[in-house]
Structure 1
Amino acid sequence: MTTTTGTGTTGTDWQAWQQSWDRQQEWYMPDREERFRTMLDMVEAFVGREPRVLDLACGTGSITARLLDRFPDATSTGVDLDPALLTIARGTFEGDERVTLVEADLQDPRWPERLPYDTYDAVLTATALHWLRSDPLTVLYGRIAGLVRHGGVFMNADHMPDDTTPRINATEATHSRARMERSMRDGALDWAEWWALAAKDPVLAAPTARRFEIYGSHADGEMPSAAWHARVLREQGFGEARAVWASPSDTLLLALK
């Protein structure tokens, strides 16, 4: 998404890309903003209004943008491996000294060494860790526990289905598909269409190609239940863990160090 100035030069409209990403994500998660609001409510409740935050698998920086909007004195470190989404994040936060962006693979055991701080008040992530299978996610939770200070929090907002409720799951899925079909008729983009748009952009085309070399169309991850996440987080070093918000399809789980 490029813009033309009065001098005839072109530049990338990073806010337009952010808004486009938000709309695409909201097609899957209509309660996404409510989920972010609750996440930041919990940040304020547990660690105050000037937190040092690690935005884990930050993507375009959706969490960081909302964090700084609400808490101008916060600082954020965003970590991701996706070169296309990181390009959007870098363009969005260029010149903002509160934000540091780090390119790193969360399955690399040395990724915490690339961070600017040894500990954080809060580690936050959303709609990202289902890209990992259970064993590497368990290892990652142990590393996250080592980064959160005593009294700090980790929050993961993601798809955490409960396999013990098949009829509820089936009905919710049918209702969601109908809503998504209505939104598509109104012009909403799905995941594949959004990436096709990015691949045609002169600035994002190359990083998008690299992104698909890294990930393929989608990673072969898993979506364990909220109970599994809470249990594993406690086993990996957190004192308490439970859901603090849920929609019919998503859960925000908070772990306290």
Structure 2
Amino acid sequence: MTAYLNNADTWQESWDRQQEGFLPDREHRFDAMLTAVAAVTDGAAPKVLDLAGGTGSISLRALARFPGARVTVLDQDPVLLTIAAASLDGRGDVVDADLGDPGWRAKLPYEEFDAVLTATALHWLPADRIGALYAEVRDVLRPGGIFVNADHMPDEGLTGFSARLRDHARAKRNARYQTGAATSWPEWWARAAADEQLAPKVVERQRIYPGGHAQEWNPPAAWHLDALRAAGFGESGVLWRGGTDAAVIGVN
């Protein structure tokens, strides 16, 4: 997939700033994920699948950290894929596929990857689909390869305190939106819709998601670990935690 987009770097930057407004520790989870990749590739250039990768945030950081890395961004959102393709500028593959369809694997440019990484994306899928997807992800990993999913995953032993953490984060986030210190999700999409090049992609996106995304489903990290084991991963555990978010890892 190729794309021509004016100011691709600034669109990428604006997406990062919008995401960081919602996830202040976003870079921490990315760093933990890429450190795990380094641990399983022993200095070799990794082959990374950026699953539900949006604008390619993980892929761009993988390229910066691992010269020669082969990255693939897979997503369905035409706006975000346009930004990803323009930002990568031929340095990786960009794949348009629906993770709700098990056939997504047929669109990949490689049969096996060293790592499959995803962040703050799979919570839009229902429970049964996530469980099946974990098994499909394992099928595209080489032996010893890793899968890392970073998302909203509260600690099941801190139910009451997790609610307080979410309330605190929401209040701080809303204060930043009100002062203009951060761009909210609706504001970012309004700006994309007003852009001459992205506007047609926004219309296309509305056809794909006519009612918006489905309801979020955010089970505790323990649920994901059980699902990884059921999918056949030899090892699984929590790689990183920040408040009510965590990154779980499965080792093939």
Partner of 2:200: 206
- Give the counterpart letter for 1:206 in structure 2: P
How far the C-alpha of 1:175 sits from its partner, in A, is: 1.3
Of 129, 133, 139, which aligns to 2:122?
Answer: 129
How far the C-alpha of 1:221 sits from its partner, in A, is: 3.6
Listed as ranges, the gaps of 5+ residues in structure 1 are: 1-9
Partner of 1:114: 107
Residues in 2 aligned to 1:178 and 1:253: alpha-carbon distance in whole angstroms: 27
Of 142, 150, 172, which aligns to 1:149?
Answer: 142
Partner of 2:251: 256
Between the two proteins, what is the percent identity of the paired residues? 48
1:237 aligns with 2:249: no
Structure 1 residues 18 and 11: alpha-carbon distance in aligned structure 2, compared to 1, 3 A threshold:
closer
Q: Residues 29-108 of structure 1 correspond to what in structure 2 (within 5 A)?
A: 29-49=23-43, 50-96=45-91, 99-108=92-101
Provide the secondary structure at the position in 1 that maps to 2:102. Answer: coil
- Give the counterpart letter for 1:170 in structure 2: A
Residues in 1 aligned to 2:144 and 2:170: alpha-carbon distance in whole angstroms: 40
Provide the secondary structure at the position in 2 that maps to 1:12. Answer: coil
Of 187, 191, 214, which aligns to 1:219?
Answer: 214
Preserved CA contact (<8 Å) 1:131 1:222: yes
C-alpha distance after superposition, 1:212-253 (max 9, x if no partner): 221232222411111111111111110011111100121011
Partner of 1:7: none
Task: Calculate the TM-score normalised by the size of structure 1.
Answer: 0.92
State the aligned residue count. 246
Listed as ranges, the gaps of 5+ residues in structure 2 are: none
Task: Calculate the TM-score normalised by the size of structure 2.
Answer: 0.94
1:140 aligns with 2:119: no
C-alpha distance after superposition, 1:117-164 (max 9, x if no partner): 111100000010001010111111110010111111000011112454
1:24 aligns with 2:18: yes
How far the C-alpha of 1:77 sits from its partner, in A, is: 1.0
Residues in 2 aligned to 1:84 and 1:18: alpha-carbon distance in whole angstroms: 11
C-alpha distance after superposition, 1:2-45 (max 9, x if no partner): xxxxxxxx961011111110111111110001111111111101
C-alpha distance after superposition, 1:85-128 (max 9, x if no partner): 001011111232xx011101111121111111111100000010
Residues in 2 aligned to 1:243 and 1:204: alpha-carbon distance in whole angstroms: 37
Residues in 2 aligned to 1:217 and 1:105: alpha-carbon distance in whole angstroms: 15
Residues in 1 aligned to 2:147 and 2:166: alpha-carbon distance in whole angstroms: 28
Preserved CA contact (<8 Å) 1:47 1:122: no
- Give the counterpart letter for 1:166 in structure 2: T
- Give the counterpart letter for 2:103 in structure 1: R
| Residue range with higher mean Cα deviation, 210-219 or 238-247 | 210-219
- Give the counterpart letter for 1:180 in structure 2: R
Partner of 1:195: 189
- Give the counterpart letter for 2:15 in structure 1: W
